[in-house]
């Protein structure tokens, strides 16, 4: 029965995905969801230990192990600062898996949206770096930059207004807004700007409540308030 299989799973190391899948077939046949979840979670932990986040997340998703998924996502973003010039392979791999999954948690939503922001900011940085390069065909670059700026503004606004940005990424993420807020004509809509203003006020309250604010936070807050006010 289920308890016997579950105890077997706890006692016997499952060394391969092949063996795990065989056991999962047995669990499916005999309707043993708890044992199946334990098997899948075990394989997820094994792949996480090898730092293969894509396969680890695939197994955690099979186990519907939200604690493990959220924990792994937190670990990935803790290692990251907003990558505008280079990719973060673990973030890329995690987002590729999680983007195909249904909405699972706020942490998962943040990882997917944050990854999209890093991609568009890298595209924008690349276009801006070659804009004055005589060796490149720059005829269509202004138009391309305009399109990417609008996309970057939209994605950053969604990230900052709909997701809880981790404390260690707050400064770099919101700093990315500043050059976009200074564009003329504006690349943010009024709805996005009011949303950012509300999110900014919430962040100020959170910083004051936790006594985490510091001079560079205050400088950025002031800069953002002025830039948003100028756009409005």
**Distance separating alpha carbons of residues 9 and 11, to the nearest angstrom:** 6
Give the mean model confidence (pLDDT) for residues 114-122. 93
User: Tell me: the pLDDT tens digits for 65-104?
Assistant: 999 999 999 999 887 655 545 678 899 999 999 998 867 7
Q: Which candidate, 68, 70, 88, places its Cα nearest to that of 172?
A: 88
Q: Is 166 exposed, middle or buried (0-12, 13-18, 19+ CB in 10 A)?
A: middle
Alpha helices in 50-140 (DSSP H): 53-63, 66-78, 89-98, 106-130
Model confidence over 28-58: pLDDT tens digits?
A: 888 889 889 999 999 999 999 999 999 999 9
Comparing C-alpha atoms, which of 183, 188, 83, 85 is closest to residue 142? Answer: 183
Cα–Cα dist 67/88, whole Å:
23
* Mean pLDDT in residue range 150-171: 91
Average pLDDT across the chain, whole number: 86
Task: List the chain domain ranges.
Answer: 1-64, 65-231
Each residue's pLDDT tens digit, 96-112: 999 988 677 888 999 99
Q: Is the pLDDT of residue 161 over 90?
A: yes
More confident site: 18 or 103: 18
pTM of the full structure: 0.82
């Amino acid at each position: 029965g289920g308890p016997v299989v579950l105890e077997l799973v706890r006692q016997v190391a499952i060394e391969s995905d092949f063996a795990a899948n065989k056991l999962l077939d047995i669990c499916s046949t005999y309707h043993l969801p708890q044992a199946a979840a334990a098997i899948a979670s075990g394989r997820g932990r094994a792949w996480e230990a090898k730092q293969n986040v894509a396969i680890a997340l695939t197994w955690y998703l099979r186990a519907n192990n939200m604690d493990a998924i959220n924990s792994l996502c937190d670990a990935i973003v803790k290692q990251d600062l907003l990558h505008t010039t280079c990719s973060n392979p673990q973030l890329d791999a995690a987002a590729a898996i999680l983007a195909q999954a249904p909405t699972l948690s706020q942490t998962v939503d943040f990882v997917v949206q944050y990854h999209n922001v890093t991609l568009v900011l890298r595209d924008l940085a690349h276009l801006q770096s070659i804009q004055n390069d005589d060796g490149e065909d720059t005829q269509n670059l202004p138009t391309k930059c305009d399109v990417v700026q609008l996309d970057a503004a939209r994605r950053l606004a969604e990230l900052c207004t709909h997701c809880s940005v981790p404390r260690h990424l707050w400064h770099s993420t919101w700093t990315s807004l500043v050059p976009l807020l200074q564009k003329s004509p504006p690349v943010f809509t009024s709805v996005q700007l009011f949303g950012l203003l509300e999110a900014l006020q919430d962040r100020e309250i959170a910083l004051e409540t936790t006594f985490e604010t510091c001079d560079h936070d205050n400088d950025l807050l002031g800069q953002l308030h002025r830039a948003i006010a100028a756009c409005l």
